[in-house]
Amino acid sequence: MSNIQTLTAYDIIEKKRHRLENTYQEIDYMVSGYTKGTVPDYMMSAWLMAICMGGMSKKETFALTEIMMKSGDVISFDTTVVDKHSTGGVSDSTSLILVPILASVGVDVAKMSGRALGFTGGTIDKLEVFDGYKADVSQDVFKKLIKKNHGAIISQSAYIAPADKAIYALRDKTATVDSIPLIASSIMSKKLASGAKIILLDVKFGSGAFMKTEKDAIALAKLMVEIGAHFGRKMEAIVTNMDSPLGTGVGCVYEIKNVLSCLDNNSCDLLTLSKYFATRLVVLATNCDEKHAQSLVEDSLKTHKARHKFDGIISSLGGDIGVADNLPQSKYTYQVKAKINGYITHIDAYGIAKAVQHLALNSDNKKVEGVELASISKKVNVNDVIATIHSNNKISKSTIEDIEKAITISSKNKKKKLIYKVIKGEK
């Protein structure tokens, strides 16, 4: 077709359109050319669409991941650092719980997180509930915080995989997001550049997740584990359920409230999953057995070490931890009550998330917009409160109806399954 001296975007697109494998040099030509402005939007879009239609081989996916990883800074740490990544969901605040747990037992954890993406606020949006929290810090500060506290949560650096950021923005505009190789390389380019040697992936599926089916979530998880292992990382992926919100709060203030409750060792699905992730990362980082790791995690919560560590992590980045005792409140609230006796067997994650998005549309303080929910499996009677809606604007009848429709009460209880598959990979 072409050699490295005579590469053209046209030839590379045509090759991929015919479902042929692009070489490392061809992929680099497209990625580097797009970030430099020599490959225009329309040609990059055509190449991405050809990938969506025809897929990529593992060799191509490894190449794309490496090229995007090397497009910016690649962090290195003096110690073995762990990281956890979630593909996102509704009321998914596990990072805010497992980071202080891990740090409190001496496992170094470096977490670069994002802002709102998809349904609700991102990790950094939630942390900014604490007045003064400064998530945008340098790599040097990041490393010093990990050395001091064993853990830190900062915002994703603009210098980490900048090619991925540019390409993702184009994918979002051109209906080329929905491709497992593109999703896997996008996530893993950032994870590899962030410097962790041990990476745990939480790959979600369901109505409140990007991946809608268990089959697609497993395929994505397996590919990301293979990418990490290829680049020398110790990997593990957990495929989890996101049909219902993970926590009992949706919206920044209410998710922080839920996190603080979990750190005080109050049981719920959010805490159950966070403890499981923390246990697996202790095992991966220390090579201890599962039972010992689990006991370390439980002790961290029971003795309030994790809560104290959380306070230290917030304070170290300027956050006012005193806000935890006086979280911001909305002007209006509305209590949704049960109309029948029974058990809460399902809460539609997508329905709840869309309702919270609607609440935040014209709000002067999006952080106080949200919903507090009764937990799955809770037994309720007529007129029991099953949800409390919070807003700085008057709450519309349609929003109340949307919340009511999202909550299913049945005569028989049904236990929610959280974990569907564990995929392990060794470097």
Catalytic residues: 85, 164, 171, 186, 190
What H or E segment, with its residue span, contains residue 243? none
90's CB contacts (< 8 A; 6+ apart) are 119, 120, 208, 242, 245, 246, 250, 349, 350, 352, 353
Strand arrangement, sheet containing 109-113: 151-155, 109-113, 82-86, 198-205, 234-241, 419-425
Please, which residues bridge with residue 332 across strands?
391
Coil/strand/helix, residue 306: helix
- In angstroms, the CA 1 to CA 6 distance is 10
The DSSP string of 356-424 is HHHHHTT-S-GGG-EEEEPPTT-EE-TT-EEEEEEESSPPPHHHHHHHHHHEEEESS--PPP-EEEEEE
Q: State which amino acid sits at residue 141.
A: V
Q: State which amino acid sits at residue 136.
A: D
- In angstroms, the CA 164 to CA 187 distance is 9
Do 333 and 228 form a contact (C-beta atoms < 8 A)?
no
What H or E segment, with its residue span, contains residue 244? none
Do 185 and 68 form a contact (C-beta atoms < 8 A)?
yes
Closest CA to 214 of 417, 3, 2: 417
Please, which residues bridge with residue 410 across strands?
343
Per the document, the length of the chain is 427
- In angstroms, the CA 214 to CA 38 distance is 39
Output DSSP code: residue 236: E
Closest CA to 234 of 269, 292, 195, 284: 284
